[in-house]
Structure 1
Amino acid sequence: MIELDAVTKVYQAGKVAVRALDSVDLSIDEGDLVAIMGPSGSGKSTMMNILGCLDVPTTGHYRLGGTDVVGMRENALADLRNRRIGFVFQSFNLIARTSAARNVELPLVYAGVGRRERRDRAQQALARVGLDGRGGSMPNELSGGQQQRVAIARALVTRPAMILADEPTGNLDTVSTNEVMQLLVELNDAGRTVVLITHEDEVAAFARRVVRLRDGRIVSDLRQKPLPHGAPAPTAGGTP
Protein backbone atom coordinates (compact mmCIF):
# COMPACT_ATOMS: atom_id res chain seq x y z
CA MET A 1 0.00 0.00 0.00
CA ILE A 2 2.81 2.39 0.95
CA GLU A 3 6.18 2.37 -0.81
CA LEU A 4 9.05 4.76 -0.22
CA ASP A 5 11.88 4.22 -2.66
CA ALA A 6 15.17 6.02 -1.87
CA VAL A 7 13.26 9.00 -0.50
CA THR A 8 15.38 12.00 0.41
CA LYS A 9 14.02 15.30 1.69
CA VAL A 10 16.28 18.35 1.88
CA TYR A 11 15.21 21.66 3.42
CA GLN A 12 17.12 24.88 2.96
CA ALA A 13 17.73 26.67 6.28
CA GLY A 14 19.39 29.88 5.16
CA LYS A 15 22.60 28.82 3.49
CA VAL A 16 22.53 25.37 5.11
CA ALA A 17 20.93 22.35 3.42
CA VAL A 18 19.26 20.13 6.04
CA ARG A 19 18.81 16.51 4.98
CA ALA A 20 15.70 15.56 6.97
CA LEU A 21 15.34 12.16 5.27
CA ASP A 22 18.25 10.36 3.65
CA SER A 23 17.58 7.64 1.03
CA VAL A 24 14.77 5.98 2.98
CA ASP A 25 13.24 2.72 1.72
CA LEU A 26 10.02 1.61 3.41
CA SER A 27 7.05 -0.57 2.51
CA ILE A 28 3.85 -0.85 4.56
CA ASP A 29 1.26 -3.47 3.66
CA GLU A 30 -2.45 -2.86 3.64
CA GLY A 31 -3.98 -3.63 7.05
CA ASP A 32 -0.76 -3.19 9.03
CA LEU A 33 -0.37 -1.18 12.25
CA VAL A 34 3.03 0.52 12.25
CA ALA A 35 4.65 2.89 14.73
CA ILE A 36 7.32 5.24 13.37
CA MET A 37 9.57 6.42 16.19
CA GLY A 38 12.59 8.58 16.76
CA PRO A 39 13.98 11.39 18.88
CA SER A 40 13.55 15.07 18.04
CA GLY A 41 15.28 15.80 14.75
CA SER A 42 15.20 12.18 13.60
CA GLY A 43 13.00 12.89 10.59
CA LYS A 44 9.72 11.44 11.82
CA SER A 45 7.76 14.68 11.29
CA THR A 46 9.10 14.90 7.75
CA MET A 47 8.16 11.27 7.26
CA MET A 48 4.63 12.06 8.46
CA ASN A 49 4.35 14.97 6.03
CA ILE A 50 5.45 12.84 3.10
CA LEU A 51 3.27 9.84 4.01
CA GLY A 52 0.33 12.21 4.40
CA CYS A 53 0.99 13.87 1.00
CA LEU A 54 1.51 17.18 2.79
CA ASP A 55 4.97 17.35 1.25
CA VAL A 56 6.84 15.56 -1.53
CA PRO A 57 10.35 14.08 -1.64
CA THR A 58 13.27 16.07 -2.99
CA THR A 59 14.43 12.88 -4.68
CA GLY A 60 13.08 9.34 -4.71
CA HIS A 61 9.53 8.08 -5.07
CA TYR A 62 6.50 7.67 -2.82
CA ARG A 63 3.71 5.42 -4.05
CA LEU A 64 0.40 5.34 -2.19
CA GLY A 65 -1.86 2.55 -3.36
CA GLY A 66 0.22 2.32 -6.51
CA THR A 67 0.01 6.06 -7.28
CA ASP A 68 3.35 7.89 -7.40
CA VAL A 69 2.80 11.28 -5.73
CA VAL A 70 6.04 12.78 -7.05
CA GLY A 71 5.21 15.32 -9.71
CA MET A 72 1.52 15.53 -8.85
CA ARG A 73 -0.04 18.98 -8.82
CA GLU A 74 -1.27 20.41 -5.52
CA ASN A 75 -4.98 19.98 -6.34
CA ALA A 76 -4.38 16.34 -7.24
CA LEU A 77 -2.42 15.83 -4.02
CA ALA A 78 -5.23 17.43 -2.02
CA ASP A 79 -7.77 15.11 -3.65
CA LEU A 80 -5.58 12.08 -2.93
CA ARG A 81 -5.22 13.16 0.72
CA ASN A 82 -8.95 13.59 1.14
CA ARG A 83 -9.82 10.25 -0.44
CA ARG A 84 -7.08 7.96 0.87
CA ILE A 85 -5.85 9.36 4.20
CA GLY A 86 -7.53 10.18 7.50
CA PHE A 87 -5.46 12.41 9.78
CA VAL A 88 -5.41 12.40 13.59
CA PHE A 89 -3.30 15.05 15.32
CA GLN A 90 -2.01 15.56 18.85
CA SER A 91 -3.88 18.87 19.23
CA PHE A 92 -7.17 17.42 17.88
CA ASN A 93 -7.54 20.36 15.42
CA LEU A 94 -11.27 20.74 16.07
CA ILE A 95 -13.05 24.00 15.28
CA ALA A 96 -13.94 25.43 18.68
CA ARG A 97 -17.37 26.95 17.94
CA THR A 98 -18.56 24.08 15.79
CA SER A 99 -20.39 20.98 17.03
CA ALA A 100 -18.78 17.57 17.05
CA ALA A 101 -20.98 16.44 14.16
CA ARG A 102 -20.12 19.48 12.04
CA ASN A 103 -16.41 18.96 12.76
CA VAL A 104 -16.73 15.38 11.53
CA GLU A 105 -18.60 16.50 8.40
CA LEU A 106 -15.90 18.93 7.25
CA PRO A 107 -13.91 16.55 4.99
CA LEU A 108 -17.16 15.62 3.27
CA VAL A 109 -17.96 19.28 2.68
CA TYR A 110 -14.62 19.63 0.88
CA ALA A 111 -15.41 16.47 -1.10
CA GLY A 112 -18.73 17.92 -2.28
CA VAL A 113 -20.94 15.35 -0.50
CA GLY A 114 -24.59 16.38 -0.08
CA ARG A 115 -25.94 17.60 3.26
CA ARG A 116 -28.09 14.59 4.13
CA GLU A 117 -25.35 12.08 3.34
CA ARG A 118 -22.84 14.19 5.29
CA ARG A 119 -25.08 14.16 8.33
CA ASP A 120 -25.73 10.42 8.14
CA ARG A 121 -22.07 9.52 7.67
CA ALA A 122 -20.99 11.83 10.51
CA GLN A 123 -23.50 10.19 12.85
CA GLN A 124 -22.25 6.75 11.83
CA ALA A 125 -18.63 7.76 12.40
CA LEU A 126 -19.40 9.22 15.83
CA ALA A 127 -21.25 6.04 16.79
CA ARG A 128 -18.26 3.99 15.61
CA VAL A 129 -15.98 5.82 18.07
CA GLY A 130 -18.43 5.53 20.97
CA LEU A 131 -19.89 9.05 20.82
CA ASP A 132 -23.39 8.30 19.60
CA GLY A 133 -25.64 11.09 20.86
CA ARG A 134 -22.82 13.60 21.34
CA GLY A 135 -22.92 15.10 17.86
CA GLY A 136 -24.41 18.36 19.15
CA SER A 137 -21.71 18.87 21.78
CA MET A 138 -19.13 21.61 21.35
CA PRO A 139 -15.44 20.65 21.76
CA ASN A 140 -15.20 22.51 25.10
CA GLU A 141 -18.02 20.31 26.42
CA LEU A 142 -15.97 17.17 25.78
CA SER A 143 -13.02 15.66 27.61
CA GLY A 144 -9.64 15.41 25.90
CA GLY A 145 -10.22 11.75 25.13
CA GLN A 146 -13.65 12.49 23.68
CA GLN A 147 -12.22 15.29 21.53
CA GLN A 148 -9.66 12.88 20.14
CA ARG A 149 -12.48 10.43 19.40
CA VAL A 150 -14.22 13.17 17.44
CA ALA A 151 -10.96 13.70 15.54
CA ILE A 152 -10.79 9.96 14.79
CA ALA A 153 -14.42 10.02 13.62
CA ARG A 154 -13.50 12.90 11.30
CA ALA A 155 -10.59 10.82 9.98
CA LEU A 156 -12.93 7.87 9.34
CA VAL A 157 -15.80 9.72 7.69
CA THR A 158 -14.23 9.75 4.21
CA ARG A 159 -13.64 5.96 4.51
CA PRO A 160 -9.90 6.29 3.89
CA ALA A 161 -7.53 3.43 3.24
CA MET A 162 -5.10 4.70 5.89
CA ILE A 163 -5.26 6.51 9.21
CA LEU A 164 -2.14 8.59 9.87
CA ALA A 165 -1.95 9.53 13.55
CA ASP A 166 0.66 12.09 14.62
CA GLU A 167 1.34 11.80 18.39
CA PRO A 168 -2.37 10.93 18.88
CA THR A 169 -2.12 10.61 22.68
CA GLY A 170 0.34 13.43 23.39
CA ASN A 171 -2.30 15.59 25.13
CA LEU A 172 -4.13 12.79 26.93
CA ASP A 173 -3.99 11.25 30.38
CA THR A 174 -3.27 7.55 30.88
CA VAL A 175 -6.92 6.43 30.84
CA SER A 176 -7.73 8.41 27.69
CA THR A 177 -4.51 7.22 26.04
CA ASN A 178 -5.56 3.63 26.59
CA GLU A 179 -9.08 4.27 25.24
CA VAL A 180 -7.82 6.00 22.09
CA MET A 181 -5.20 3.34 21.38
CA GLN A 182 -7.72 0.54 21.89
CA LEU A 183 -9.98 2.28 19.37
CA LEU A 184 -7.16 2.52 16.82
CA VAL A 185 -6.39 -1.17 17.39
CA GLU A 186 -10.07 -2.03 16.79
CA LEU A 187 -10.05 -0.07 13.55
CA ASN A 188 -6.89 -1.89 12.49
CA ASP A 189 -8.43 -5.25 13.41
CA ALA A 190 -11.32 -4.33 11.10
CA GLY A 191 -8.83 -3.96 8.22
CA ARG A 192 -7.83 -0.30 8.34
CA THR A 193 -4.13 0.51 7.86
CA VAL A 194 -2.88 2.61 10.79
CA VAL A 195 0.43 4.47 10.92
CA LEU A 196 1.43 6.08 14.22
CA ILE A 197 4.06 8.80 14.49
CA THR A 198 5.17 8.73 18.12
CA HIS A 199 8.07 9.10 20.52
CA GLU A 200 6.30 7.11 23.26
CA ASP A 201 7.18 3.45 23.82
CA GLU A 202 3.83 2.98 25.59
CA VAL A 203 2.01 3.92 22.37
CA ALA A 204 4.33 1.91 20.11
CA ALA A 205 3.58 -1.17 22.25
CA PHE A 206 0.18 -1.40 20.52
CA ALA A 207 1.76 -1.66 17.04
CA ARG A 208 2.60 -4.80 15.11
CA ARG A 209 5.74 -3.23 13.70
CA VAL A 210 8.08 -0.50 14.94
CA VAL A 211 10.26 1.54 12.59
CA ARG A 212 12.92 3.71 14.25
CA LEU A 213 14.53 6.74 12.64
CA ARG A 214 17.71 8.56 13.52
CA ASP A 215 19.34 11.39 11.55
CA GLY A 216 16.94 10.86 8.68
CA ARG A 217 17.62 7.16 8.25
CA ILE A 218 15.87 3.98 9.33
CA VAL A 219 18.03 2.33 11.98
CA SER A 220 15.67 -0.55 12.87
CA ASP A 221 12.50 -2.08 11.48
CA LEU A 222 11.13 -4.82 13.70
CA ARG A 223 7.99 -6.89 13.96
CA GLN A 224 6.65 -7.34 17.47
CA LYS A 225 3.78 -8.98 19.29
CA PRO A 226 1.37 -6.11 20.06
CA LEU A 227 -0.40 -5.75 23.38
CA PRO A 228 -3.34 -8.14 23.71
CA HIS A 229 -6.69 -6.61 22.84
CA GLY A 230 -8.09 -4.85 25.89
CA ALA A 231 -4.77 -4.76 27.73
CA PRO A 232 -3.91 -1.41 29.35
CA ALA A 233 -1.04 0.63 27.99
CA PRO A 234 2.22 0.04 29.86
CA THR A 235 3.50 2.84 32.02
CA ALA A 236 6.63 4.76 31.10
CA GLY A 237 8.60 2.59 33.49
CA GLY A 238 7.42 -0.67 32.00
CA THR A 239 4.44 -2.99 32.10
CA PRO A 240 2.24 -2.32 35.18
Structure 2
Amino acid sequence: MTVLDVREVTKVYGDGDTAVHALRGVSIAVEQGDYVAIMGASGSGKSTLMNILGCLDVPSTGRYLLDGTDVGTLDDRRLAIVRNRKIGFVFQSFNLIPRMSALANVELPLAYGGVKPAERRRRALAALDRVGLADRVEHEPNELSGGQQQRVAVARALVTAPALLLADEPTGNLDTRSTEDVLEVLDGLSAAGRTIVLITHENDVARHAKRVIRLVDGRIVDDRRRSHVDDLPPGLVGLR
Protein backbone atom coordinates (compact mmCIF):
# COMPACT_ATOMS: atom_id res chain seq x y z
CA MET A 1 0.00 0.00 0.00
CA THR A 2 1.31 3.45 -0.95
CA VAL A 3 1.19 5.86 1.99
CA LEU A 4 2.83 8.84 0.26
CA ASP A 5 2.41 9.54 -3.44
CA VAL A 6 4.05 12.81 -4.54
CA ARG A 7 3.65 13.49 -8.24
CA GLU A 8 5.68 16.19 -10.03
CA VAL A 9 5.32 18.62 -7.16
CA THR A 10 6.67 22.14 -7.50
CA LYS A 11 6.71 24.98 -4.99
CA VAL A 12 7.35 28.58 -5.98
CA TYR A 13 7.48 31.50 -3.58
CA GLY A 14 6.99 34.99 -5.02
CA ASP A 15 6.50 36.15 -8.60
CA GLY A 16 8.49 37.26 -11.59
CA ASP A 17 12.18 37.97 -11.20
CA THR A 18 12.00 37.49 -7.42
CA ALA A 19 10.39 34.05 -7.60
CA VAL A 20 12.12 31.30 -5.61
CA HIS A 21 11.70 27.76 -6.96
CA ALA A 22 11.96 25.68 -3.79
CA LEU A 23 10.83 22.42 -5.42
CA ARG A 24 11.17 21.57 -9.11
CA GLY A 25 9.11 18.55 -10.12
CA VAL A 26 9.62 16.21 -7.15
CA SER A 27 8.08 12.72 -7.35
CA ILE A 28 8.26 10.23 -4.48
CA ALA A 29 6.28 7.10 -3.63
CA VAL A 30 6.62 5.68 -0.11
CA GLU A 31 5.10 2.32 0.68
CA GLN A 32 3.62 1.25 3.98
CA GLY A 33 6.34 0.21 6.42
CA ASP A 34 9.16 2.01 4.63
CA TYR A 35 11.77 4.07 6.50
CA VAL A 36 13.02 6.97 4.39
CA ALA A 37 15.63 9.63 5.12
CA ILE A 38 15.45 12.84 3.08
CA MET A 39 18.76 14.70 3.03
CA GLY A 40 20.00 17.96 1.61
CA ALA A 41 22.02 21.06 2.36
CA SER A 42 20.44 24.35 3.42
CA GLY A 43 18.32 25.63 0.52
CA SER A 44 17.91 22.19 -1.05
CA GLY A 45 14.14 22.17 -0.58
CA LYS A 46 13.94 19.51 2.12
CA SER A 47 12.13 21.77 4.62
CA THR A 48 9.64 22.84 1.95
CA LEU A 49 9.05 19.19 1.07
CA MET A 50 8.58 18.34 4.76
CA ASN A 51 5.94 21.06 5.08
CA ILE A 52 4.06 19.72 2.07
CA LEU A 53 4.27 16.11 3.27
CA GLY A 54 2.97 17.25 6.66
CA CYS A 55 0.06 19.16 5.08
CA LEU A 56 1.46 22.40 6.51
CA ASP A 57 1.81 23.84 3.00
CA VAL A 58 0.43 23.06 -0.45
CA PRO A 59 2.24 22.57 -3.77
CA SER A 60 2.21 25.23 -6.48
CA THR A 61 1.65 22.46 -9.02
CA GLY A 62 1.53 18.68 -8.91
CA ARG A 63 -0.40 16.28 -6.68
CA TYR A 64 0.13 14.85 -3.22
CA LEU A 65 -1.84 11.81 -2.07
CA LEU A 66 -1.58 10.83 1.59
CA ASP A 67 -2.90 7.38 2.42
CA GLY A 68 -5.05 7.58 -0.71
CA THR A 69 -6.42 11.09 -0.01
CA ASP A 70 -5.67 13.83 -2.53
CA VAL A 71 -4.54 16.59 -0.17
CA GLY A 72 -5.05 19.26 -2.83
CA THR A 73 -8.83 18.75 -2.75
CA LEU A 74 -9.17 19.48 1.00
CA ASP A 75 -10.25 22.74 2.62
CA ASP A 76 -8.51 24.03 5.76
CA ARG A 77 -10.83 22.20 8.17
CA ARG A 78 -10.39 18.85 6.46
CA LEU A 79 -6.64 19.42 6.18
CA ALA A 80 -6.49 19.92 9.94
CA ILE A 81 -8.36 16.65 10.45
CA VAL A 82 -5.95 14.81 8.14
CA ARG A 83 -2.94 16.25 9.98
CA ASN A 84 -4.33 15.13 13.33
CA ARG A 85 -5.38 11.64 12.28
CA LYS A 86 -2.96 10.55 9.57
CA ILE A 87 0.35 12.23 10.48
CA GLY A 88 2.41 11.98 13.63
CA PHE A 89 4.91 14.84 13.88
CA VAL A 90 8.25 14.77 15.69
CA PHE A 91 10.11 18.09 15.69
CA GLN A 92 13.63 19.07 16.66
CA SER A 93 12.38 21.29 19.49
CA PHE A 94 10.09 18.65 21.13
CA ASN A 95 7.13 21.12 21.39
CA LEU A 96 5.93 19.75 24.72
CA ILE A 97 3.65 21.77 27.02
CA PRO A 98 5.90 22.73 29.97
CA ARG A 99 3.50 22.36 32.93
CA MET A 100 1.80 19.19 31.75
CA SER A 101 2.90 15.66 32.56
CA ALA A 102 4.29 13.35 29.90
CA LEU A 103 0.96 11.50 29.98
CA ALA A 104 -1.07 14.68 29.46
CA ASN A 105 1.21 15.79 26.61
CA VAL A 106 0.73 12.47 24.83
CA GLU A 107 -3.04 12.61 25.34
CA LEU A 108 -3.36 16.01 23.61
CA PRO A 109 -3.93 14.81 20.00
CA LEU A 110 -6.62 12.44 21.24
CA ALA A 111 -8.29 15.21 23.23
CA TYR A 112 -8.40 17.36 20.09
CA GLY A 113 -9.90 14.39 18.27
CA GLY A 114 -12.72 14.00 20.79
CA VAL A 115 -11.55 10.67 22.27
CA LYS A 116 -13.07 9.95 25.70
CA PRO A 117 -10.78 10.36 28.77
CA ALA A 118 -10.49 6.68 29.70
CA GLU A 119 -9.55 5.68 26.16
CA ARG A 120 -7.13 8.62 25.90
CA ARG A 121 -5.36 7.49 29.03
CA ARG A 122 -5.16 3.84 27.89
CA ARG A 123 -3.71 4.74 24.52
CA ALA A 124 -1.29 7.33 25.91
CA LEU A 125 0.04 4.89 28.52
CA ALA A 126 0.56 2.27 25.81
CA ALA A 127 2.42 4.79 23.61
CA LEU A 128 4.70 5.86 26.49
CA ASP A 129 5.41 2.23 27.28
CA ARG A 130 6.27 1.67 23.61
CA VAL A 131 9.02 4.31 23.80
CA GLY A 132 10.37 3.06 27.12
CA LEU A 133 8.88 5.70 29.43
CA ALA A 134 6.28 3.77 31.38
CA ASP A 135 8.02 4.90 34.59
CA ARG A 136 7.99 8.60 33.66
CA VAL A 137 4.34 9.20 32.84
CA GLU A 138 3.76 11.78 35.60
CA HIS A 139 7.00 13.69 35.01
CA GLU A 140 6.84 17.15 33.47
CA PRO A 141 9.23 18.06 30.62
CA ASN A 142 11.66 19.94 32.90
CA GLU A 143 12.05 16.73 34.92
CA LEU A 144 13.12 14.75 31.84
CA SER A 145 16.35 14.66 29.84
CA GLY A 146 16.38 15.89 26.26
CA GLY A 147 16.27 12.34 24.96
CA GLN A 148 13.34 11.49 27.23
CA GLN A 149 11.47 14.60 26.10
CA GLN A 150 11.94 13.58 22.48
CA ARG A 151 10.67 10.09 23.27
CA VAL A 152 7.56 11.69 24.79
CA ALA A 153 7.20 13.59 21.51
CA VAL A 154 7.49 10.30 19.60
CA ALA A 155 4.82 8.75 21.84
CA ARG A 156 2.56 11.73 21.19
CA ALA A 157 3.11 11.27 17.45
CA LEU A 158 2.19 7.59 17.70
CA VAL A 159 -0.88 7.82 19.89
CA THR A 160 -3.32 8.48 17.03
CA ALA A 161 -2.01 5.44 15.10
CA PRO A 162 -1.12 7.65 12.10
CA ALA A 163 -0.40 6.40 8.60
CA LEU A 164 2.86 8.39 8.63
CA LEU A 165 5.44 9.31 11.25
CA LEU A 166 7.15 12.49 10.00
CA ALA A 167 10.31 13.42 11.90
CA ASP A 168 12.04 16.75 11.18
CA GLU A 169 15.65 16.74 12.47
CA PRO A 170 14.48 14.77 15.55
CA THR A 171 17.98 14.46 17.03
CA GLY A 172 19.17 17.99 16.23
CA ASN A 173 19.04 19.16 19.87
CA LEU A 174 20.31 15.96 21.47
CA ASP A 175 23.67 14.72 22.71
CA THR A 176 25.19 11.51 21.36
CA ARG A 177 23.65 9.18 23.93
CA SER A 178 20.17 10.69 23.66
CA THR A 179 20.44 10.56 19.86
CA GLU A 180 21.16 6.84 20.05
CA ASP A 181 18.18 6.30 22.38
CA VAL A 182 15.76 8.13 20.07
CA LEU A 183 17.08 6.39 16.94
CA GLU A 184 16.73 3.04 18.69
CA VAL A 185 13.05 3.85 19.27
CA LEU A 186 12.58 4.82 15.60
CA ASP A 187 14.38 1.65 14.50
CA GLY A 188 12.04 -0.41 16.66
CA LEU A 189 8.99 1.33 15.24
CA SER A 190 10.27 0.67 11.72
CA ALA A 191 10.81 -3.00 12.54
CA ALA A 192 7.21 -3.12 13.79
CA GLY A 193 5.96 -1.83 10.43
CA ARG A 194 5.58 1.92 10.97
CA THR A 195 6.01 4.19 7.96
CA ILE A 196 8.66 6.80 8.80
CA VAL A 197 9.97 9.76 6.83
CA LEU A 198 12.96 11.42 8.45
CA ILE A 199 14.31 14.83 7.44
CA THR A 200 17.97 15.10 8.39
CA HIS A 201 21.35 16.47 7.37
CA GLU A 202 23.20 14.02 9.62
CA ASN A 203 24.92 11.11 7.92
CA ASP A 204 24.85 8.96 11.06
CA VAL A 205 21.11 9.51 11.44
CA ALA A 206 20.35 8.72 7.79
CA ARG A 207 22.20 5.41 8.13
CA HIS A 208 19.28 4.10 10.18
CA ALA A 209 16.84 4.46 7.27
CA LYS A 210 16.18 1.81 4.65
CA ARG A 211 16.14 4.34 1.83
CA VAL A 212 17.93 7.66 1.34
CA ILE A 213 16.70 10.47 -0.90
CA ARG A 214 18.98 13.43 -1.65
CA LEU A 215 17.70 16.85 -2.72
CA VAL A 216 19.77 19.53 -4.43
CA ASP A 217 18.24 22.83 -5.57
CA GLY A 218 14.71 21.51 -5.34
CA ARG A 219 15.34 18.34 -7.34
CA ILE A 220 15.90 14.72 -6.35
CA VAL A 221 19.42 13.81 -7.45
CA ASP A 222 19.67 10.44 -5.70
CA ASP A 223 17.05 7.97 -4.46
CA ARG A 224 18.26 4.56 -3.49
CA ARG A 225 17.50 1.73 -1.13
CA ARG A 226 20.37 0.80 1.10
CA SER A 227 21.47 -2.78 1.63
CA HIS A 228 24.10 -2.06 4.29
CA VAL A 229 24.19 0.36 7.21
CA ASP A 230 27.33 2.02 5.86
CA ASP A 231 26.17 2.21 2.24
CA LEU A 232 25.29 5.88 1.89
CA PRO A 233 25.74 7.35 -1.59
CA PRO A 234 28.86 9.44 -2.20
CA GLY A 235 28.10 13.09 -1.61
CA LEU A 236 25.71 12.50 1.27
CA VAL A 237 28.56 12.36 3.75
CA GLY A 238 29.11 15.61 5.57
CA LEU A 239 26.06 17.49 4.28
CA ARG A 240 25.38 20.46 6.53
Structure 1 length normalisation: TM-score?
0.92
- What CA distance in whole angstroms lies between the structure 2 residues aligned with 1:225 and 1:89? 28
Q: 2:82 aligns with which of 77, 80, 83?
A: 80
CA deviations on 1:105-150 (whole Å, 9 max, x unpaired) are: 0000110001111111111111110000211101000000000000
What SS does the aligned partner of 1:77 have? Answer: helix
Q: How does 1:93-132 map to 2 (within 5 A)?
A: 93-132=95-134
Change in CA separation of 1:106 and 1:202 when aligned onto 2, cut-off 3 Å:
same
Q: How does 1:1-240 map to 2 (within 5 A)?
A: 1-12=3-14, 16-225=18-227, 227=229
The alpha-carbon deviation at position 32 of structure 1 amounts to 0.3
AA paired with 1:125? A
The alpha-carbon deviation at position 13 of structure 1 amounts to 7.8
Identity level (%) = 63
The alpha-carbon deviation at position 161 of structure 1 amounts to 1.3
Which stretch of structure 1 is more off in the superposition, 179-188 or 4-13? 4-13
AA paired with 1:89? F
What SS does the aligned partner of 2:173 have? Answer: coil
Change in CA separation of 1:72 and 1:197 when aligned onto 2, cut-off 3 Å:
same
Contact 1:206 1:226 in 2 (8 A): no
- What CA distance in whole angstroms lies between the structure 2 residues aligned with 1:146 and 1:111? 25
The alpha-carbon deviation at position 31 of structure 1 amounts to 0.5
What SS does the aligned partner of 1:184 have? Answer: helix
Contact 1:207 1:226 in 2 (8 A): no
- What CA distance in whole angstroms lies between the structure 2 residues aligned with 1:121 and 1:227? 33
CA deviations on 1:50-95 (whole Å, 9 max, x unpaired) are: 1111111110000111111013101111111111110000000001
AA paired with 1:35? A
- What CA distance in whole angstroms lies between the structure 1 residues aligned with 2:194 and 2:101? 26
- What CA distance in whole angstroms lies between the structure 2 residues aligned with 1:107 and 1:11? 31
AA paired with 1:27? A
CA deviations on 1:151-203 (whole Å, 9 max, x unpaired) are: 00000100111100000000111111111111101101111000000000000
AA paired with 1:215? D
